[in-house]
Amino acid sequence: MTAPLLVVVNGAAGSAEDGPVEAALAVLRAGTDVEVAATSSSDDLDDVVRGLDGRRPVVVGGDGSLHAVAAALDRAGLLGAQPVGLIACGTGNDLARTLGLPLDPAEGARVVLDGTPRPLDVLREAGGLLVVNAVHAGVGASAGRRAEALKDLMGAVAYPVGAALAGTAERGWELRVQVDGRPVAPASGEWSADGGTPLLMVGVCNGPTVGGGTALVPEADPGDGQLDVLVSAATGPGERVAFAAALRAGRHGERDDVVLTRGREVSISGEPVDIDADGEVHEDRQEQTWRIDPAAWSIVVP
Protein backbone atom coordinates (compact mmCIF):
# COMPACT_ATOMS: atom_id res chain seq x y z
CA MET A 1 0.00 0.00 0.00
CA THR A 2 1.27 3.44 -0.94
CA ALA A 3 0.40 6.69 0.88
CA PRO A 4 -3.27 7.72 0.79
CA LEU A 5 -4.14 9.99 -2.12
CA LEU A 6 -6.34 13.01 -2.71
CA VAL A 7 -7.27 13.05 -6.39
CA VAL A 8 -8.14 16.50 -7.74
CA VAL A 9 -10.40 16.62 -10.80
CA ASN A 10 -11.18 19.91 -12.52
CA GLY A 11 -14.94 19.73 -12.85
CA ALA A 12 -14.96 22.63 -15.31
CA ALA A 13 -12.40 21.14 -17.74
CA GLY A 14 -13.33 19.36 -20.93
CA SER A 15 -10.94 16.55 -20.01
CA ALA A 16 -12.76 15.70 -16.75
CA GLU A 17 -14.98 13.07 -18.34
CA ASP A 18 -16.31 10.06 -16.45
CA GLY A 19 -14.56 7.40 -18.56
CA PRO A 20 -10.91 8.50 -18.16
CA VAL A 21 -11.39 9.53 -14.54
CA GLU A 22 -13.04 6.24 -13.56
CA ALA A 23 -10.35 4.23 -15.36
CA ALA A 24 -7.67 6.02 -13.37
CA LEU A 25 -9.55 5.74 -10.07
CA ALA A 26 -10.06 1.99 -10.49
CA VAL A 27 -6.29 1.49 -10.63
CA LEU A 28 -5.57 3.87 -7.77
CA ARG A 29 -8.19 2.32 -5.49
CA ALA A 30 -6.67 -1.11 -6.05
CA GLY A 31 -3.40 0.20 -4.57
CA THR A 32 -4.30 2.58 -1.78
CA ASP A 33 -6.96 4.67 -0.06
CA VAL A 34 -8.31 7.38 -2.38
CA GLU A 35 -10.39 10.50 -1.81
CA VAL A 36 -11.67 12.52 -4.79
CA ALA A 37 -12.25 16.28 -4.92
CA ALA A 38 -13.90 17.96 -7.92
CA THR A 39 -13.00 21.65 -8.08
CA SER A 40 -14.09 24.54 -10.28
CA SER A 41 -12.32 27.58 -8.78
CA SER A 42 -9.15 28.67 -7.01
CA ASP A 43 -11.16 28.95 -3.78
CA ASP A 44 -12.16 25.29 -4.15
CA LEU A 45 -8.53 24.33 -4.65
CA ASP A 46 -7.42 26.32 -1.62
CA ASP A 47 -9.98 24.44 0.48
CA VAL A 48 -8.82 21.09 -0.91
CA VAL A 49 -5.16 21.87 -0.21
CA ARG A 50 -5.94 22.90 3.36
CA GLY A 51 -7.67 19.54 3.80
CA LEU A 52 -4.91 17.29 2.49
CA ASP A 53 -4.28 15.94 5.99
CA GLY A 54 -1.31 13.82 4.98
CA ARG A 55 -2.73 12.66 1.67
CA ARG A 56 -0.57 12.97 -1.42
CA PRO A 57 -2.13 15.20 -4.12
CA VAL A 58 -2.85 13.74 -7.56
CA VAL A 59 -3.97 15.91 -10.47
CA VAL A 60 -6.22 14.48 -13.18
CA GLY A 61 -6.06 16.92 -16.10
CA GLY A 62 -3.69 18.88 -18.31
CA ASP A 63 -1.18 21.69 -17.94
CA GLY A 64 -3.85 24.17 -16.81
CA SER A 65 -5.10 21.87 -14.04
CA LEU A 66 -1.55 21.11 -12.91
CA HIS A 67 -0.76 24.84 -12.90
CA ALA A 68 -3.82 25.57 -10.74
CA VAL A 69 -3.02 22.87 -8.17
CA ALA A 70 0.64 23.90 -8.00
CA ALA A 71 -0.41 27.51 -7.41
CA ALA A 72 -2.78 26.45 -4.61
CA LEU A 73 -0.07 24.35 -2.97
CA ASP A 74 2.30 27.31 -3.26
CA ARG A 75 -0.21 29.69 -1.65
CA ALA A 76 -0.49 27.26 1.25
CA GLY A 77 3.29 26.91 1.59
CA LEU A 78 3.05 23.21 0.64
CA LEU A 79 4.44 23.13 -2.92
CA GLY A 80 7.49 21.07 -2.00
CA ALA A 81 5.96 19.17 0.90
CA GLN A 82 5.01 16.01 -1.01
CA PRO A 83 5.47 14.68 -4.56
CA VAL A 84 2.51 15.41 -6.83
CA GLY A 85 0.97 12.74 -9.03
CA LEU A 86 -0.19 13.66 -12.53
CA ILE A 87 -2.64 11.66 -14.63
CA ALA A 88 -2.57 13.39 -18.01
CA CYS A 89 -6.12 13.91 -19.27
CA GLY A 90 -5.77 17.37 -20.78
CA THR A 91 -5.75 18.67 -24.34
CA GLY A 92 -2.06 19.57 -24.65
CA ASN A 93 -0.34 17.69 -21.79
CA ASP A 94 2.97 19.37 -22.56
CA LEU A 95 4.68 18.88 -19.21
CA ALA A 96 3.41 15.29 -19.00
CA ARG A 97 4.94 14.55 -22.41
CA THR A 98 8.24 16.13 -21.35
CA LEU A 99 8.36 13.94 -18.23
CA GLY A 100 7.58 10.77 -20.15
CA LEU A 101 4.23 10.26 -18.46
CA PRO A 102 1.75 8.00 -20.26
CA LEU A 103 -1.32 9.62 -21.81
CA ASP A 104 -3.51 6.60 -21.02
CA PRO A 105 -5.33 7.26 -17.70
CA ALA A 106 -4.92 3.73 -16.30
CA GLU A 107 -1.23 3.65 -17.15
CA GLY A 108 -0.82 7.10 -15.64
CA ALA A 109 -2.45 5.89 -12.42
CA ARG A 110 0.04 3.01 -12.21
CA VAL A 111 2.89 5.54 -12.41
CA VAL A 112 1.33 7.49 -9.53
CA LEU A 113 1.42 4.32 -7.43
CA ASP A 114 4.79 2.93 -8.48
CA GLY A 115 6.85 5.83 -9.87
CA THR A 116 9.69 7.96 -8.54
CA PRO A 117 9.58 11.66 -7.57
CA ARG A 118 11.50 13.94 -9.93
CA PRO A 119 12.48 17.40 -8.64
CA LEU A 120 11.30 20.20 -10.94
CA ASP A 121 11.79 23.94 -11.20
CA VAL A 122 9.04 26.55 -11.43
CA LEU A 123 8.96 30.06 -12.90
CA ARG A 124 8.03 32.89 -10.57
CA GLU A 125 6.92 36.33 -11.70
CA ALA A 126 7.66 39.33 -9.50
CA GLY A 127 3.91 39.98 -9.23
CA GLY A 128 3.33 36.54 -7.71
CA LEU A 129 2.31 34.43 -10.72
CA LEU A 130 3.69 30.87 -10.75
CA VAL A 131 4.24 28.85 -13.94
CA VAL A 132 5.15 25.16 -14.17
CA ASN A 133 5.76 24.76 -17.92
CA ALA A 134 5.93 27.94 -20.01
CA VAL A 135 4.86 31.55 -20.35
CA HIS A 136 4.86 33.31 -23.70
CA ALA A 137 4.09 36.88 -24.64
CA GLY A 138 2.76 38.18 -27.94
CA VAL A 139 1.53 35.94 -30.74
CA GLY A 140 1.74 32.83 -28.54
CA ALA A 141 -0.77 34.29 -26.10
CA SER A 142 -3.01 35.34 -28.99
CA ALA A 143 -2.82 31.79 -30.35
CA GLY A 144 -3.64 30.36 -26.93
CA ARG A 145 -6.68 32.61 -26.55
CA ARG A 146 -8.01 31.57 -29.95
CA ALA A 147 -7.29 27.87 -29.27
CA GLU A 148 -9.12 28.00 -25.94
CA ALA A 149 -12.30 29.04 -27.74
CA LEU A 150 -11.94 26.06 -30.10
CA LYS A 151 -10.83 23.29 -27.71
CA ASP A 152 -14.29 21.90 -26.95
CA LEU A 153 -15.02 21.60 -30.66
CA MET A 154 -11.61 20.60 -32.05
CA GLY A 155 -9.57 19.10 -29.20
CA ALA A 156 -5.79 19.20 -29.73
CA VAL A 157 -6.27 20.46 -33.32
CA ALA A 158 -7.35 23.78 -31.77
CA TYR A 159 -3.70 24.63 -31.05
CA PRO A 160 -2.39 24.75 -34.64
CA VAL A 161 -5.61 26.40 -35.82
CA GLY A 162 -5.30 29.06 -33.11
CA ALA A 163 -1.65 29.61 -34.05
CA ALA A 164 -2.53 30.03 -37.72
CA LEU A 165 -5.24 32.58 -36.93
CA ALA A 166 -2.97 34.53 -34.59
CA GLY A 167 -0.07 34.50 -37.04
CA THR A 168 -2.29 36.05 -39.69
CA ALA A 169 -3.76 38.73 -37.45
CA GLU A 170 -0.93 39.96 -35.23
CA ARG A 171 1.73 42.45 -36.35
CA GLY A 172 4.04 42.48 -33.33
CA TRP A 173 4.80 44.56 -30.24
CA GLU A 174 7.71 46.86 -29.41
CA LEU A 175 9.33 45.17 -26.44
CA ARG A 176 12.57 45.15 -24.46
CA VAL A 177 13.88 41.79 -23.28
CA GLN A 178 16.72 41.25 -20.81
CA VAL A 179 18.14 37.89 -19.73
CA ASP A 180 20.24 38.08 -16.55
CA GLY A 181 20.51 41.82 -17.14
CA ARG A 182 21.69 41.53 -20.75
CA PRO A 183 19.58 43.05 -23.57
CA VAL A 184 18.50 40.34 -26.01
CA ALA A 185 17.13 40.81 -29.54
CA PRO A 186 17.54 38.91 -32.83
CA ALA A 187 20.26 40.02 -35.22
CA SER A 188 17.63 41.24 -37.69
CA GLY A 189 15.73 43.25 -35.08
CA GLU A 190 15.59 47.03 -35.38
CA TRP A 191 16.34 48.76 -32.07
CA SER A 192 14.33 51.87 -31.22
CA ALA A 193 15.59 54.89 -29.31
CA ASP A 194 14.31 53.51 -25.99
CA GLY A 195 16.00 50.13 -26.46
CA GLY A 196 12.95 48.18 -27.64
CA THR A 197 12.49 46.27 -30.88
CA PRO A 198 9.39 45.04 -32.76
CA LEU A 199 8.88 41.42 -31.67
CA LEU A 200 6.40 38.72 -32.62
CA MET A 201 6.78 36.72 -29.43
CA VAL A 202 8.86 36.06 -26.33
CA GLY A 203 8.82 32.61 -24.75
CA VAL A 204 10.10 32.04 -21.21
CA CYS A 205 10.09 28.30 -20.70
CA ASN A 206 10.72 25.63 -18.12
CA GLY A 207 9.68 22.76 -20.41
CA PRO A 208 10.50 22.51 -24.13
CA THR A 209 7.02 22.34 -25.69
CA VAL A 210 3.78 24.30 -25.76
CA GLY A 211 0.43 23.85 -27.50
CA GLY A 212 0.36 20.07 -27.35
CA GLY A 213 3.90 19.31 -28.51
CA THR A 214 5.32 22.32 -30.39
CA ALA A 215 9.01 22.42 -29.43
CA LEU A 216 9.44 26.13 -28.74
CA VAL A 217 12.78 25.66 -26.93
CA PRO A 218 13.85 22.09 -27.75
CA GLU A 219 16.78 21.92 -25.31
CA ALA A 220 14.81 22.97 -22.23
CA ASP A 221 14.99 20.72 -19.16
CA PRO A 222 12.41 21.47 -16.43
CA GLY A 223 14.87 20.48 -13.70
CA ASP A 224 18.13 22.16 -14.76
CA GLY A 225 17.79 25.42 -12.82
CA GLN A 226 17.64 27.51 -16.01
CA LEU A 227 14.98 29.42 -17.93
CA ASP A 228 15.05 28.80 -21.69
CA VAL A 229 14.09 31.86 -23.71
CA LEU A 230 12.92 32.38 -27.29
CA VAL A 231 12.76 35.86 -28.83
CA SER A 232 11.31 36.21 -32.34
CA ALA A 233 11.34 39.37 -34.48
CA ALA A 234 9.49 37.73 -37.40
CA THR A 235 6.92 40.51 -37.64
CA GLY A 236 6.52 40.95 -41.42
CA PRO A 237 3.86 38.93 -43.30
CA GLY A 238 6.38 36.72 -45.09
CA GLU A 239 8.55 36.37 -42.00
CA ARG A 240 5.59 35.24 -39.89
CA VAL A 241 4.74 32.49 -42.36
CA ALA A 242 8.36 31.39 -42.62
CA PHE A 243 8.80 31.41 -38.84
CA ALA A 244 5.70 29.25 -38.38
CA ALA A 245 6.98 26.74 -40.95
CA ALA A 246 10.42 26.64 -39.34
CA LEU A 247 8.86 26.18 -35.90
CA ARG A 248 6.86 23.19 -37.11
CA ALA A 249 10.03 21.71 -38.62
CA GLY A 250 12.11 22.40 -35.50
CA ARG A 251 14.46 24.69 -37.41
CA HIS A 252 13.38 28.11 -36.09
CA GLY A 253 16.62 28.47 -34.12
CA GLU A 254 18.51 28.75 -37.41
CA ARG A 255 16.73 31.98 -38.40
CA ASP A 256 18.41 35.37 -37.93
CA ASP A 257 15.16 36.83 -36.61
CA VAL A 258 15.13 34.33 -33.70
CA VAL A 259 17.28 34.11 -30.57
CA LEU A 260 17.37 31.08 -28.29
CA THR A 261 19.15 31.67 -25.00
CA ARG A 262 18.92 30.80 -21.31
CA GLY A 263 19.43 32.31 -17.90
CA ARG A 264 17.95 32.61 -14.42
CA GLU A 265 16.00 35.88 -14.77
CA VAL A 266 14.08 37.38 -17.70
CA SER A 267 12.55 40.86 -17.85
CA ILE A 268 10.04 41.97 -20.50
CA SER A 269 8.88 45.57 -20.85
CA GLY A 270 7.50 47.97 -23.44
CA GLU A 271 4.07 47.95 -25.05
CA PRO A 272 1.22 46.25 -23.18
CA VAL A 273 1.15 42.64 -24.36
CA ASP A 274 -0.91 39.57 -23.52
CA ILE A 275 0.84 36.59 -21.94
CA ASP A 276 -0.12 32.93 -21.84
CA ALA A 277 0.96 31.30 -18.58
CA ASP A 278 0.43 27.51 -18.67
CA GLY A 279 -2.59 28.09 -20.91
CA GLU A 280 -4.08 30.92 -18.85
CA VAL A 281 -4.13 34.24 -20.73
CA HIS A 282 -3.41 37.49 -18.85
CA GLU A 283 -4.08 40.63 -20.86
CA ASP A 284 -2.07 43.83 -21.31
CA ARG A 285 0.96 43.07 -19.16
CA GLN A 286 3.53 45.87 -19.42
CA GLU A 287 6.37 45.18 -16.95
CA GLN A 288 7.20 41.63 -15.93
CA THR A 289 10.20 39.80 -14.52
CA TRP A 290 10.45 36.01 -14.35
CA ARG A 291 12.89 34.10 -12.16
CA ILE A 292 13.67 30.41 -11.89
CA ASP A 293 12.97 28.69 -8.56
CA PRO A 294 15.06 25.50 -8.77
CA ALA A 295 13.76 22.17 -7.47
CA ALA A 296 10.72 23.88 -5.94
CA TRP A 297 8.55 20.75 -6.14
CA SER A 298 8.44 17.24 -7.56
CA ILE A 299 6.19 15.10 -9.77
CA VAL A 300 6.06 11.31 -9.75
CA VAL A 301 7.43 9.95 -13.04
CA PRO A 302 8.02 6.44 -14.48
Overall pTM surpassing 0.85 (yes/no): yes
Question: Mean pLDDT across the chain, nearest whole number?
Answer: 87
pLDDT confidence of residue 16 = 45
Q: What is the C-alpha separation between 227 and 221, in angstroms, rounded?
A: 9
* pLDDT category of residue 286 using cuts at 50, 70 and 90: confident
- Report pLDDT for 90: 84
Q: Is there a common fold for 5-114 and 134-294?
A: no
For residue 170, pLDDT over 80 is answered with: no
Domain spanning 134-294, CATH architecture? Sandwich (2.60)
Q: Is the pLDDT of residue 190 over 90?
A: no
Domain residue ranges of the chain, discontinuous segments joined by + = 5-114, 134-294
Q: What are the C-alpha distances in Å from 10 to residues 35, 41, 44, 63, 126?
A: 14, 9, 10, 12, 27
pLDDT of residue 281: 87
106-112: average pLDDT: 97
Q: Is the pLDDT of residue 248 over 70?
A: yes
Q: Residue 168, class by beta-carbon neighbours within 10 Å (0-12 exposed, 13-18 middle, 19+ buried)?
A: exposed
> What's the confidence (pLDDT) of residue 19?
83
Report whether 192 contacts 222 (CB < 8 A): no
In this predicted structure, what is the pLDDT of residue 192? 59
- pLDDT tens sequence across 6-56: 999 987 654 445 788 899 999 999 999 999 999 989 999 999 999 999 999
Judge residue 43's burial from the number of C-beta atoms within 10 Å of its C-beta, 0-12 exposed, 13-18 middle, 19 or more buried.
exposed
The per-residue pLDDT for range 111-169, each reduced to its tens digit, is 999 999 999 999 999 888 999 999 989 886 766 555 554 445 444 444 443 444 444 55
Percent of the chain with pLDDT over 90: 64
Beta bridge partners of 161: none
Is residue 283 exposed (0-12), middle (13-18) or buried (19+ Cβ within 10 Å)? exposed
Q: How confident is the model at residue 191 (pLDDT cuts 50, 70, 90)?
A: low
Residue of higher predicted confidence among 8 and 91 = 8
Angle 85-88-93 from CA coordinates, rounded to 5° = 120
Q: Of 40 and 79, which is predicted with more confidence?
A: 79
Q: 5-114: what CATH class?
A: alpha beta
In this prediction, residue 148 carries a pLDDT of 55
SS (H, E, C) 30-60: HHCCEEEEEECCHHHHHHHHHCCCCCEEEEE
CA dihedral 116, 121, 123, 126 (to 10 degrees): 120
SS3 content of the chain, % helix, strand, coil (to 5): 30, 35, 35
Residue % of the chain over a pLDDT of 70? 85
Residues in the chain: 302
Output the pLDDT for position 237.
Answer: 83
Residue 36 is predicted with a pLDDT of: 95
Burial (CB count <10 Å: 0-12, 13-18, 19+), residue 256: exposed
**CA–CA distances in Å: residue 61 to residues 2, 232, 235, 260, 284:** 22, 31, 34, 30, 28
Residue 87 has pLDDT above 70, yes or no: yes
CB 109 within 8 A of CB 24: yes
Mean pLDDT of 94-100: 96
